[in-house]
Chains A and B, each alone.
Chain A
Amino acid sequence: MDYEIIVVGGGHAGCEASLAAARKGHKTLLVTGNIKNIADMPCNPSIGGSAKGIVVREIDALGGEMGKNADKGQLQMKMLNHKKGPAVQALRAQADKVTYPKEMYKTLSEEKNLTIREAMVEDLIVENGKVKGIILEDGTEIVSKAVILTTGTYLKADIMVGDTRHREGPHGEKPSQHLSDNLKSLGFKIIRLKTGTPQRIDKNTIDFSKTKEEYGSDRKYTFSFDHEPSYNLEDQIPCHLIYTTPETHQIIKDNLTKSSMYGGLNDITGVGPRYCPSIEDKIVRFSDKERHQLFLEPESLYYDDIYIQGFSTSMPHDVQEKMVHSLPGLENAKILKYAYAIEYDAIYPTQLKQSLETKLIENLFTAGQINGTSGYEEAACQGLIAGINASLKLEGKEPLILKRNEAYIGVLIDDLVTKGVIDPYRLLTSRAEYRLLLRHDNADLRLREYGYQVGLISDVQYNKLKQKKQDIKSAIAYLKEHKITPTEEVNQYLEQQESATLKDGISLYDLLKRPEIKMEHINHFYELPFENSVLEQVEIEIKYEGYIKKALHEADKMVDLDNKKIPEDIDYSKIHNLASEAKQKLNEIRPTSIGQALRISGVNPADISLLMVYIKKEYFHDRG
């Protein structure tokens, strides 16, 4: 046996997968087409964002690397939705595209159980439905017990600009030519997806006076729970906001047929992401909009590329020149890299178990864009789960499966394996039913315990968590015990906060329940002997108690349904009167629980009741 676990691909999924496997003590090999591109960020220069930022926290809570690494290379940190409720707040970092990969590579290379090798993987060794290793382009065979595929967009990747199509991955890298065909011949259903990226502009050729500066938050944040912020607010690098002009729109309309997506190429089968349309899509689909927002985002402190967020296109280079020059401040801009669209192969994700192991081939796991997702964070969290579960499988343990009420990661994986994808899947807060429970601030409270159980969280980190949980209890008790009396001074202060004055004494706890009273106001009366992170939890728990209770109640109902297991060997053809669409979907997805079954689109309540009747009465009867 050469290695226990082989990870194919060095992107965000591959990094997390190989680190998790290695840290769990398994001899791991990471194979990547180009070592220089490990943890590369081929698209936007940011980590996090709404929902995604919470995933980064979850990765950190479970013992993954993305959060810590993003903290090292951030150019600015912004708490999104900070004016809204705590459930929807999420952190986003502008991440340095040089620092981030460099730091990640450093971490990988310091990991003692991990070996990195540069090569193209073109096939798998499979015996009796079980993966046994990989075969490289030159025919070399490397044997292992488990394989995790994290190939990103590199399966049969085609870069498309105008009417040209080249078989290459991002940065002109060589894609994997045969791996997806070989997966197909193993029986996998392969789909073709598409995405795109905008131009990069030379910073020195932009007139920033015509743009609006956008800074990060005026409070310091970190993704990781394990360290304090170490940056200065003054050092933040701004982004810049501009808008498209009527001229831009005219250029696009005049040249629409030259875009790969609008006739430039007629052999496009890939489906692009709905939530992240190209600029030509936006102008065609929302023709009544006079202008569209664009953000100029710095890519790195070490080079001059500026990323135009919102301007992704597959127009030919000459049209792109005109488009860019029609933008305010970019009249004389120099394009360093042109925008392109990319098409690639992916595995239809309903072929996966909740553990991310494929149903077809034992010990073969897949994670990231190969599973039809989009985004660094979505990839990283799958990589982490695949790394953990491949290891647990080899250890003979049950996989780590996060429920929809426990983590966005759980929502993401459940969606993938239950519903499949049409276009590249991006996490959104609206995909989570219980997002009040899945907050940015409580990811550690939700998930560290799991991280500790699987062995990726240390005793030190775990004890810190236990202490925090204890402190939260103490702080609530403290607020209940301590009262303030209606002195003139107190009432004057309350009046200033537009809060009703007191007639009788009131506990701090009850005072905090008032919508207009915040923890900082409580601090005015009492010096609270607790850390801010503890007080933050307490404040949310007290203020939103009613809503949290409702969410917990709803979540309980779902958990009940998820606990109603469907026997693994159930034969759906034996259930009479099941609608044929339901029969086909159930057979394809083979849900493990009633809860999962009812989340499958095309399976309606009547089908579920038939299924439940069958399991209750017939299944056990049929088996004799």
Chain B
Amino acid sequence: MEDTIAAISTALGVGAISIIRVSGKEAISIVNKIFKGKDLNLVSTHTIHYGHIIDNAEIIDEVLVSIMKAPKTFTVEDIVEINAHGGIATTHRILELLLKNGCRLATPGEFTKRAFLNGRIDLLEAESVMDLISSKTEATRKMAISGVDGKLSLLIHSLRSKIIELLANIEVNIDYPEYEDIEEMTIEELNKSMTSIEHELKDILTNSKEGKMIKEGINTSIIGRPNVGKSSILNRLLNENKAIVTDIEGTTRDVVEGNIIIDGIMLNILDTAGIRETENVVEQIGVRKSLELLEQSDLVLVVLNNNEALTEQDIDILKQVKHKNHIVIVNKKDLERHLDVTTLEPDYIEISALNDEGIEKIKNRIRELFHLEKFENQDMTYLTNARSIALVEQALESLKEVKRGIEQNMPIDMVEIDLKKVWNLLGEITGETYQDELIEQLFSQFCLGK
């Protein structure tokens, strides 16, 4: 960990500016070699300096350079951040210069690893930062930042301290059985507390699952009979928001064919081919295929034609989406109404993809369905990675064991075993208990060891 590392720490090409971060003993001196402006070796810590990045005599970019000296930095090492003007070519050029002058290219997450290993952040924060690094949209960036703030840590801390109070009470009853001074923790009281803790955990879990969806994208399918205007709607969503449809490489998301970003929310569109091609190949997307898609969707956009009466197929589809998050879209409102809308759920949305009317309504409905307002609120707390969510699920499982033990009239000191487990599991989320697996995971995540 002696060498000085550098990396581009903003998403390439997207932002208006890009930041190149350098960390390590030689961070300042290396940057100084390629900086024209003040002598950075002489400036004080936590200051910002205007100047130019130069390659010999050539000016590469006009930049602001932040100097942060150890130990009060993210990695607890000297850090320099170069704020450049963005653009893939320029940013890469600056990075290349840094590497030429003695930096090593940082591996993904290496800054965070240093911060963690230097004791700067706890595990939860480390993971949040990892999330921040890989966050793709504004909403997920907010989520990641919320984690760094330690708000979630605080919430987990408070749950843990509630539990530790119960544990302490039970323990003291055991160790001082004859002391009437101390109130006896009763099964009833324990049960009551369990219920309230369970509620809080479930809230975290619900929020986290929604949060995870927002972070990883909402798996969305657009279904409907041929010629109802599915691809026009998709195109409208695309055009309006300058979003991109890309092919995603991946292992777990094989069904995802592209994602579009609407107001900072990512929709993973399932089966875009189906949408694109069905206009021509009428039979290609049958109801059976739609059902398969349904299984994998977090959100289903059902498209109906205002100009036609409901068919058996439509009715089938509507039946199938009942248990899913879905939006019924009545397209072609510019045409004469042949659809009997009174048979539909009252909250259907009428649009005209052709005239670009009503697209905003779809977006608003998505925001409502996934509580996006809630997530934009700074006070929301949720876990953003699968490991933490799994830990909360395990904690809830152990909590159920506590309740089962209570139901079965198990002695309180037995029931307490599961309660301790809950406490430990929650501790693992914030990195407060040590477990070998945790370290194993760290090793794999940070590429340590042999």
A residues contacting B by CB (< 8 A) are 50-51, 80-81, 83-85, 87-88, 275, 286, 289, 292-293, 295, 428-430, 436, 515-516, 544, 547, 550-551, 557, 560-561, 576-577, 579, 598, 604-610, 612-613, 616-617
Contact = CB atoms under 8 A, between A and B. Distances in A.
Contact of A579 (B119, B179, B181, B408): B119
Given A577-B1, A604-B119, A609 B413 contact: no
Nearest to A543: B410
B414 A547 contact: yes
A609 B117 contact: yes
B390 interface: no
A81 B436 contact: no
A84 B448 contact: no
Given A576-B1, A605-B438, A605-B439, A429 B410 contact: no
Interface of B: 1-2, 116-119, 123, 168, 171, 174-181, 408-414, 417-418, 421, 431, 434-436, 438-439, 442-443, 448-450
B170 to A, nearest CB: 9
Contact of B434 (A430, A544, A577, A598): A598
B347 to A, nearest CB: 48
A616 B449 contact: yes
A84 B174 contact: yes
A547 B420 CA distance: 12
A605 B411 CA distance: 34
A577 B408 contact: no
16 contacts: A50-B174, A80-B177, A275-B175, A515-B410, A544-B414, A547-B414, A550-B418, A551-B417, A560-B436, A576-B1, A577-B117, A577-B118, A598-B434, A605-B434, A609-B443, A616-B450
A424 to B, nearest CB: 15
Contacts of B168: 430
Contacts of B176: 50
Nearest to B437: A557
A561 B439 CA distance: 11
A617 B449 contact: yes
B436 A561 contact: yes
Contacts of B179: 293
Given A81-B413, A604-B119, 11 more contacts: A84-B411, A85-B413, A286-B181, A289-B181, A428-B175, A429-B174, A430-B168, A544-B414, A547-B414, A616-B450, A617-B450
A547 B401 CA distance: 10
B119 A613 contact: no
Contacts of A576: 1-2
Contact of B439 (A88, A429, A608): A608
A587 B235 CA distance: 66
A204 B176 CA distance: 29
B1 to A, nearest CB: 6
Nearest to B405: A547
Contacts of B442: 609
Nearest to B421: A550
A603 to B, nearest CB: 9
A429 B177 CA distance: 12
Contacts of B175: 50-51, 275, 428-430
A613 B449 contact: yes
A87 B177 CA distance: 14
Contact of A606 (B116, B409, B410, B412): B116
Given A544-B414, A605-B123, A609-B117, A50 B177 contact: yes
A609 B441 CA distance: 11
A361 B244 CA distance: 73
Contacts of A605: 123, 431, 434, 438-439
Nearest to A603: B434
A515 B410 CA distance: 7
A551 B431 CA distance: 22
Nearest to B167: A430
Contact of A607 (B119, B123, B438): B119
A149 to B, nearest CB: 29
Nearest to B2: A576
A88 B173 CA distance: 10
Contacts of B414: 85, 87, 436, 544, 547
Given A87-B414, A598-B434, A430 B174 contact: yes
B413 A87 contact: yes
Nearest to A426: B175
A51 B177 CA distance: 12
B422 to A, nearest CB: 13
B403 to A, nearest CB: 14
B171 A557 contact: no
Contacts of A429: 171, 174-175
A516 B450 contact: no
Contact of B417 (A80, A436, A579, A612): A436
A429 B118 CA distance: 35
A550 B442 CA distance: 25
Contacts of B119: 579, 604, 606-607
B178 to A, nearest CB: 8
B9 to A, nearest CB: 21
A293 B180 contact: yes
Nearest to A516: B409
Give the 8 A-B residue pairs with the shortest CB-CB distance, closest first. Answer: A85-B411, A430-B171, A85-B413, A88-B174, A88-B413, A515-B408, A605-B434, A428-B175
Contacts of B436: 557, 560-561
Nearest to B123: A605
B413 A84 contact: yes
A598 B434 CA distance: 7
Given A550-B417, A576-B2, A605-B438, A81 B174 contact: yes
A547 B418 CA distance: 8
A473 to B, nearest CB: 24
Contacts of B418: 550
Contacts of B450: 616-617
B181 A557 contact: no
A557 B434 CA distance: 11
Contacts of A81: 174, 177, 413
Nearest to A610: B117
A604 B1 CA distance: 19
Nearest to A309: B178
Contacts of B438: 605
Nearest to A613: B448
B117 A606 contact: yes
Contacts of B171: 428-430
A286 B179 CA distance: 14
Contacts of B448: 609, 613
A604 to B, nearest CB: 7
B264 to A, nearest CB: 33
Contacts of A612: 439, 449
Contacts of B435: 557
Contacts of A544: 410, 414
A605 B443 CA distance: 13
A293 B181 CA distance: 7
Given A50-B176, A613-B449, A547 B417 contact: yes
A238 to B, nearest CB: 14
B46 to A, nearest CB: 22
A87 B382 CA distance: 38
A436 B123 CA distance: 31
Contacts of A550: 417-418, 421
A352 B418 CA distance: 34
Residue among A88, A275, A295, A616 with the highest chain B CB neighbour number at 10 A: A88
Contacts of B431: 605
A50 B174 CA distance: 7
A430 B175 CA distance: 8
Nearest to A561: B436
A382 to B, nearest CB: 20
A544 B409 CA distance: 12
A567 to B, nearest CB: 17
B180 to A, nearest CB: 6
B314 to A, nearest CB: 51
Nearest to B115: A606
Contacts of A289: 181
